[in-house]
Each structure stands twice: as structure tokens, then as C-alpha cells.
């Protein structure tokens, strides 16, 4: 005989775990204040978006979306400026035939460009020096 059971009665199954969901299912609604508070947590030093998302039971993609909505990207480094002192050269004292001895310290650079002297101290960023030189060339 065949093992086919025509009664369609399922065999009893032992249920080991049963989860009952209560309340309204579907999407959660987050207030603007809650979103701002959660996004602010991601900006703390050492915080990661994934950890904050896990803590609030949301997906990291959702949190990145909130950051994008609030126009928050990774913090950019602070912009700093180098003080510049411009000294007018006395045309009578400038002797173009005789080069002046450099009065710079070790590792410093002194540039003379059409009567303008630029002294670059050791430790200046290359981008800053390049920008100054480009600005000088543009004034030609």
C-alpha cells in the first residue's frame, strides 16, 4: 500500500515558541524632535551610525536618510588662514642687479616676485603656499 493519506489531516506539531504581536503594526512615526535627537547622537565623538541605529531599533540607512534631510554630512576640517604682512618696497632701495641675502631661518622660504617678498615659515601647508603663489601670478 501507499503512504498517501487522503484525509489531509496534518500531523501534530509541537510549538516551542509563540510570539504574539500586539498594537498597530506597520511604520513607526518619528517626530522631528526625536529624529533630531537621534541624529545628534551620531555626531558625538566616537559614535557610529550603526551603533546609534541599533540602539534605537532602526536601520542605518534610515538614519543616513535623516542626516541627509537635515543636510548633515561628515564634519569638514576647520579652515584656517595664515596671516600675511605686505610691506611696500622702497623703489630707491631695491637693487635688482644685486641679490639680497636670505634672512630666513632653517627650513623657511623667501620668494621675491616683481617687488613683492613672501616669506614662508617652516610648517606652512603646501596648499596655502600654492594658493599664495597662484594669487601673486594672477596679479601680473
Q: Which residues pair with 120 in a beta bridge?
A: 109
- Cell numbers given for 54: 541599533
* pLDDT tens, the chain, 140 aa long: 566 666 666 677 777 787 777 766 667 888 999 999 999 999 888 999 999 999 998 999 999 999 888 876 556 666 666 666 666 666 666 555 455 555 555 667 787 777 777 788 778 888 888 888 787 777 66
List of E strands, 1-140 = 109-113, 116-120
User: Residue 75: what pLDDT?
Assistant: 60
User: Residue 66: what pLDDT?
Assistant: 92
User: Residue 71: what pLDDT?
Assistant: 77
User: Residue 77: what pLDDT?
Assistant: 63
Amino acid at each position: 500500500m501507499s503512504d498517501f493519506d487522503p484525509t489531509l489531516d496534518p500531523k501534530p506539531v509541537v510549538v516551542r515558541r509563540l510570539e504574539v504581536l500586539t498594537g498597530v503594526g506597520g511604520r513607526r512615526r518619528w517626530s522631528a524632535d526625536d529624529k533630531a535627537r537621534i541624529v545628534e547622537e551620531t555626531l558625538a565623538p566616537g559614535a557610529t551610525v550603526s551603533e546609534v541605529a541599533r540602539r534605537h531599533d532602526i536601520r542605518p540607512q534610515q538614519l543616513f536618510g535623516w542626516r541627509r534631510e537635515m543636510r548633515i554630512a561628515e564634519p569638514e576640517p576647520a579652515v584656517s588662514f595664515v596671516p600675511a604682512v605686505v610691506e611696500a618696497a622702497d623703489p630707491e632701495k631695491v637693487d635688482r642687479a644685486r641679490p639680497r641675502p636670505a634672512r630666513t631661518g632653517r627650513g623657511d622660504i623667501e620668494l621675491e616676485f616683481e617687488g613683492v617678498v613672501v616669506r614662508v615659515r617652516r610648517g606652512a601647508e603646501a596648499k596655502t603656499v600654492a594658493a599664495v603663489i597662484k594669487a601673486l601670478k594672477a596679479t601680473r
